[in-house]
């Protein structure tokens, strides 16, 4: 059974469980350390998850854990693909309730990806990712999550030859949340693309409607300190380049870092001064869709490297290490499921005033067993 067949079977079986994503999150509550998510914070997560169909559990989903603060809070993310049962559920919700902003926005995104003649579909496929601000929102109401697209079908590599592809993705993202891409943002996107080293590719594009206006880019594949420094200079980054290079240098010495990636916020005619650093501890550029599932211990060296930073909370690192586990079986009403969990990636953020943050993005993957 291939990946698409497994997802379809899992959606079909989950649809018979008569629950929501809250039920799946409750499963993980028992083995999520209180250092990562506290009781009050769990209730916030569950309240949001209650509004989401349980069939989202057929796609990879997970949490974002901040490792630099003692506060036991978390955000969470889900994903889905057009043309699936889950996509239909959101479409039905949108038809029934014109005030369901989330469903209407998801439908707009999926409609833009569903046309077989769509250039956008040729670039990114039909997958949409959502990131819900829960802990990071500090109790502020958020109408919509962040939305992300990844150019999987036609990777956007360094060299500056794919500015049209970049504009197509950015236009789709901002228009679906009611914005319009400005000329300043276009120019900044073009400048970033031209500055990309040949080894890099733009891994994802994102927008956060509930945050300040901008387009989030993840540029992956920097092989050296020199290539990072040159890139930041070429895009006229106004943040703390020296601190970014100091961080990447320290972790290259401590851990088996293969390449580095950077997360940048493209604003109207300028870049945000914060930068996220994503250290890849093994090659990420692979055609194997299971590369991030099959090696659960790959991040142990990086976790140990983080322990040497005085601003990281060691208790959270201990709890994070215990998140990773061997597959286990969940017993449902309609089917039994295999649940896998691990770490997808980790990020260090350098912002104004040399503020340092560390975040872990953990995943869960659920797959129904054939009867």
Question: Angle at the Cα of 290 (from 287 to 292), degrees rounded to 5?
Answer: 105
Q: What whole-number percentage of the chain has pLDDT above 90? A: 71
**Sequence-separated (6 or more) residues with CB below 8 Å from residue 90:** 53, 80, 102, 103, 106, 107, 110
Say how far apart CA 77 and CA 65 lie, in whole Å: 11
Tokens read off for 162? 């794919």
Give the bridge partners for 309, in sequence order: none
Q: How far is CA 327 from the centre of its chain?
A: 22
Question: How confident is the model over 266-321, as pLDDT tens digits?
Answer: 988 788 889 999 988 765 545 555 555 556 567 888 999 999 999 999 999 999 99
229, pLDDT greater than 80: yes
pLDDT at 141: 47
Tell me what the pLDDT averaged over the chain comes to. Answer: 90
263, pLDDT greater than 90: yes
* Phi, psi values for residue 176, rounded to 5°: -70, -20
Q: How far is CA 176 from CA 52, 100, 107, 168, 207, in A?
A: 20, 15, 9, 12, 10
CB 192 within 8 A of CB 218: no
Of 54-68, 166-180, 237-251, 291-305, the range with the lowest mean pLDDT is 291-305
Structural domain of 44: 3-368
- Rounded to an integer, the average pLDDT of 134-141 is 62
**Total domains in the fold of the chain:** 1
pLDDT at 79: 97
Among the listed residues 350, 339, 356, 358, the one whose alpha carbon sits nearest the alpha carbon of residue 61:
339
pLDDT at 65: 97
Question: How confident is the model over 34-56, as pLDDT tens digits?
Answer: 999 999 999 999 999 999 999 99
The total of other beta-carbon atoms located within 10 Å of residue 253's CB is 9
pLDDT at 231: 97
* E-strand stretches of the chain: 61-66, 75-81, 127-132, 146-149, 156-157, 201-207, 215-222, 259-267, 270-271, 275-280, 325-331, 336-351, 355-368
211, pLDDT greater than 70: yes
Say how far apart CA 20 and CA 51 lie, in whole Å: 7
Entry pTM: 0.93
The total of other beta-carbon atoms located within 10 Å of residue 96's CB is 9
Say how far apart CA 230 and CA 357 lie, in whole Å: 24
């Amino acid at each position: 059974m291939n990946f698409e067949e497994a997802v379809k079977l899992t959606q079909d079986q989950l649809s018979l469980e008569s629950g929501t994503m809250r039920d799946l999150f409750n499963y993980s509550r028992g083995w999520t350390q209180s250092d990562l998510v506290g009781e009050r914070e769990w209730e916030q997560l569950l309240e949001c998850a209650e509004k989401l169909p349980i069939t989202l559990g057929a796609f990879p989903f997970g949490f974002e854990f901040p490792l630099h603060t003692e506060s036991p809070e978390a955000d969470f993310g889900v994903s889905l693909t057009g043309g699936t049962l889950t996509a239909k559920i959101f479409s039905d919700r949108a038809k029934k309730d014109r005030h369901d902003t989330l469903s209407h926005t998801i439908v707009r995104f999926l409609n833009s990806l569903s046309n077989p003649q769509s250039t956008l579909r040729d670039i990114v496929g039909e997958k949409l990712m959502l990131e819900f601000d829960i802990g990071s929102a500090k109790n502020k109401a958020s109408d919509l999550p962040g939305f992300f697209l990844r150019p999987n079908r036609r990777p956007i590599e360094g060299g500056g030859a794919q500015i049209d592809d970049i504009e197509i993705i950015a236009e789709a993202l901002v228009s679906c949340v009611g914005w319009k891409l400005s000329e300043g943002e276009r120019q900044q996107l073009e400048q970033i693309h031209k500055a990309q080293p040949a080894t890099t590719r733009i891994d994802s594009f994102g927008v956060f409607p509930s945050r300040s206006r901008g387009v989030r880019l993840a540029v992956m594949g920097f092989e050296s300190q020199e290539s990072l420094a040159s890139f930041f200079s070429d895009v006229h980054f106004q943040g703390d380049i020296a601190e970014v290079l100091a961080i990447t240098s320290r972790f290259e010495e401590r851990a088996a870092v293969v390449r580095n990636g950077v997360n940048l916020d493209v604003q109207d005619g300028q870049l945000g001064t914060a930068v996220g650093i994503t250290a890849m501890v093994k090659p990420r550029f692979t055609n194997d869709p299971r590369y991030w599932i099959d090696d659960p211990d790959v991040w142990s060296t990086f976790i140990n490297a983080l322990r040497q930073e005085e601003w990281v909370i060691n208790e959270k690192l201990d709890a994070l290490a215990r998140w990773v586990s061997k597959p286990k079986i969940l017993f449902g009403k309609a089917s039994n499921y295999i649940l896998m969990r691990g770490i997808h990636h980790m990020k260090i953020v350098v912002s104004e005033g040399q503020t340092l943050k560390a975040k872990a993005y953990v995943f869960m993957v659920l797959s129904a067993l054939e009867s």
